[in-house]
Structures are given as C-alpha cells and as structure tokens.
Amino acid sequence: MQVVVPYATRDPKSRLAGVLDADERRAFARAMRADVVDAVRDAGGEPTLLTTAPPRDAGGGAERTDGVPVVVDDRPLTDAVNDALPDEPGEAVAVVMADLALATAAPLSRLFETAGDVAIAPGRGGGTNALVVRHPDFRVDYHGASYRDHRRIAADAGLSVGVVDSMRLATDVDEPDDIAEVFLHGEGRAREWLADAGFEVVLREGRVGVARSD
C-alpha cells in the first residue's frame, strides 16, 4: 500500500503553543512523524512524506528522513493530497496524518484491510485522520468537518465507504489534553520526547492531563 504522510513544516502544532515553544513543537512534531512512519512500515505500507517545504534540520541543512521519500508541494493540504490520489481504477493510496502519535501497525493494518471504495478512520472532532482511496472518482476536502464531507463526497459519487473504529487512529495530537493520551498509550519516540522534556501525567477532574516539571 502506497501511504502518503502529509506534514506541514510551517509552525507545526500551533495549538500546543501554551505548553511548548516553537522549536519544541517542531521537534515534537518530528517525533510523532517518525512514529507514524514506523507504524506505516510495520503495517506493510510504503510511506512518502508530503511536505510544504524541504525538511530542514536544526542547522538549516537537509533533514534526515530515514530513507523515506519526500514530495514537496506548497499548495494547501487538500490540493496536494488530491494530486497524490489514484488516477486509474485498481490503484489504492492511503493518507495518514503525521500527528497520529498513537498509531501502531495493528490499527493501520485494519484500515488498509477495510473494504470500500473509500475507507476512513475518523478523528475526534469530525476530522479525517487517515483514509484509503481505491477509486479515481474520489477527491478529499480537508476544509472544515472533513469526516462528514468525505462521506458526502463518496455518496454523491456512488462510492462505498468503510469506517475504521480505532481510538489510536482517532487521536490526532492538536491540544494539550491530547498529550496525555500520548503518555497513556504511546509506545514510541513522541512519548519519549515528552518524558525527556519534563512532562508528567497529572489528574484533573477525573481525567488525565499533563504538567511540566522543569
């Protein structure tokens, strides 16, 4: 399975600005991206990074991407992803967001195996965190509540839709509360990065949150 992993290089994870500065957000976003790429490979997928600008390391040079091909496309997410989707019947392309820090091989394999012209893993809050497109008539629209829009787009084109019920794929890391989920269920570099950065789990009103000790 060809798997596109979109990754915006400009001001990643801006809604975490209250708990992480700009350099930290970039480093944390890279750690999550590396976890997603590992999970895609573990599930038998062939990842390609789709970025808005060439990845740079801290010194401004070309960033190592651990052998993952990079496609640079500075257009909005929707246009860039649509360019990567199948043009011919019989092709299949998956799109997996780079901030799914809980993604592992098991739920991604479930996604890849879910039947349908389109298979969707909805995100919390109505997003589309991951999907598989197997029909050239489907195109994405990430603006707004994309889960409902994608179901409508598929229905309007007469295409079948499968839905994957996964907490791991539903959890995109956008807000401070999401960081707690990485602590609870993460198994990779993103969790390690948070621990190294001094975060720890705290209890708030019966739910788990995070606090920073340094």
Minimum CB separation of residue 143 from its own copies in Å reads: 9
Q: Are 148 and 158 in contact (CB under 8 A)?
A: no
CA 158 – CA 213 distance, rounded (Å): 53
Q: Is residue 184 part of the contact set for its own copies (CB under 8 A)?
A: yes
Binding segment for its own copies (CB under 8 A), chosen from 20-28, 46-54, 73-81, 176-184, is 176-184
Residue 190 is encoded by which pair of tokens? 């993103």
Among the listed ranges 58-66, 74-82, 88-96, 123-131, the one in contact with its own copies (CB under 8 A) is: 123-131
Pairing of strands 46-51, 70-72: parallel
Q: State yes or no: residue 139 binds its own copies (CB under 8 A).
A: no
1 DSSP 8-state letter: -
Q: Which residue lies nearer to its own copies by CB, 80 or 210?
A: 210
Cα separation, 153 vs 146, in Å, equals: 10
Instruction: Give the 3-state secondary structure of 2-38.
Output: EEEEEECCCCCCHHHCCCCCHHHHHHHHHHHHHHHHH
| Residue 144 backbone class (left: φ over 0; alpha: ψ -120 to 50; beta: rest) | left
Closest CB 175 distance from its own copies, rounded Å = 9
What is the closest distance, in whole angstroms, from the C-beta atom of residue 163 to its own copies in the complex?
9
> Segment contacting its own copies (CB under 8 A): 23-31, 66-74, 130-138, 179-187?
179-187
Measured from the CB atom, the residue of 48 and 114 that comes closer to its own copies is 114
**208 DSSP β-pair partners:** 203
The only residue of 177, 192, 196, 200 in contact with its own copies, by rule CB under 8 A = 177
Question: Are 53 and 10 a contacting pair, CB within 8 Å?
Answer: yes
Length of the chain: 214
For 147, what's the count of Cα atoms within 13 Å in the CB-facing half-sphere? 15
Beta strand 2-7 pairing with 46-51: parallel
Does residue 147 interact with its own copies by CB under 8 A? yes
Does 208 engage in binding with its own copies (CB under 8 A)? yes
Query: Which C-beta is closer to its own copies: that of 54 or that of 125?
Result: 125
Q: Give the x-and-dash track for 45-84 against its own copies (CB under 8 A).
A: ----------------------------------------
Give least dist CB 185 to its own copies, A: 7
Binding residues (CB under 8 A) for its own copies: these are 15, 106-107, 122, 124-127, 144-145, 147-148, 165-171, 174, 177, 180-181, 184-185, 201, 203, 205-208
